[in-house]
Amino acid sequence: MFRVRTRKDGICNIVNEESGEEVEIIYSHGLNISKLIFSKDGELVNVIYPHKNISELVKDPFSASGAFLIPFVGRIPNGTYIFDGKRYDLRNDVKEGEVKHGLLYNRSWTLSKVEESKSYGMLEFNYTLDPNEFSGYPFELSACARVVLRPDGLEVLSLVKNIGENKLPLAFGWHPYLTLSESTINDYFLKVPAEKVVVLDESKTPTGEKMDVSLCAYDFRSFRKIGQLEMDVVYIDLVYSDDRVYTTLYDDKSNFGVALWQDRKYRFIVIYTPPHRRSIAIEPWTSAPNCFNKPVLGLIVLPPQEKIEAKFGVMKIYGMDEIKIS
């Protein structure tokens, strides 16, 4: 049986009572996947790093680890963009630092629906963005995230609707950091089924150009160890299998891994290795950073009353023999 547990501090969990597997969502300060526990040989392993609680998020309100990024992803250089002939400035909408990771990663969401059953558990969250909420993004939209835990893993459906009278610019995605064991990511094997990367300039801003992965250090079309490689890479031209792309992370020491899958609406995969090397960000995004200024990077222009939805998920893998999904 899958059970839902809710707390007054804005944290809720779906728990598989039979296996102990669990997903935890913090929704009172952004919408964060703060824990995803899989069962491995009777042991419970949290594959999300780090575990964030409310106090940590409040102390570091600009951290978006695990969060739903919307209405844009990545950085917008100088915090400005032009849409439909008009210039917008987002710098007044952030308290300090860069304009990045969207606008809702530290906002309180609403838990709107709960389902429990023998085969799955489900949580649904909603946020309605008022056009007066952010001066640099005066558009009206509703966002919904449906989180489902099943025996085969996690599935997250994201749905965004333009509820205003004007078309709006949009990009969205998720920002999970994954880990498999006590080892550093240097020992992990990685596979990213993508043919090209987005070219970045010296400030890590996409130029709008693409490069074949065979011409750079980031060709992970076949499994290989991450090693000492530092990655801050935006992949494009993904290779789909049954309308999904599977990015796979595997630790041969623990004989355990995960595959993060995404559907065709998520056209980009972002891989980032933080300096501590204890985790790796594998991020399904609809668009590349700075698409508000370079629409070729996947900008979504959503007409009034139109909607878009996208799915991603995380599944567990035991042993290399099970890795036949991409």
What is the model's pTM?
0.95
The pair phi, psi for residue 272, each rounded to 5°, is: -135, 135
CA atoms within 13 Å, Cβ hemisphere of 169: 26
Q: What pLDDT, on a 0 to 100 scale, did the predictor assign at position 8?
A: 87
Q: What pLDDT, on a 0 to 100 scale, did the predictor assign at position 51?
A: 62
- Residue spans of the chain under pLDDT 70: 50-53, 60-62, 96, 320-326
Q: What pLDDT, on a 0 to 100 scale, did the predictor assign at position 326?
A: 46
Q: What pLDDT, on a 0 to 100 scale, did the predictor assign at position 320?
A: 64
Distances in Å between the alpha carbon of 254 and those of 123, 188, 223?
31, 10, 16
How many domains are contained in the chain? 1
Range of the domain at 225: 2-322
Q: What pLDDT, on a 0 to 100 scale, did the predictor assign at position 238?
A: 98
State the sign of the Cα–Cα–Cα–Cα dihedral 229, 97, 84, 160. Answer: positive
Instruction: Note the pLDDT tens digit of each residue in 198-222.
Output: 999 988 899 999 999 999 999 999 9
Pull the structure tokens for residue 167. Answer: 């078309």
Q: What pLDDT, on a 0 to 100 scale, did the predictor assign at position 60?
A: 67
Q: CATH number of the domain that 163 lies in?
A: 2.70.98.10
Tell me the C-alpha distance between 324 and 51, whole Å: 30
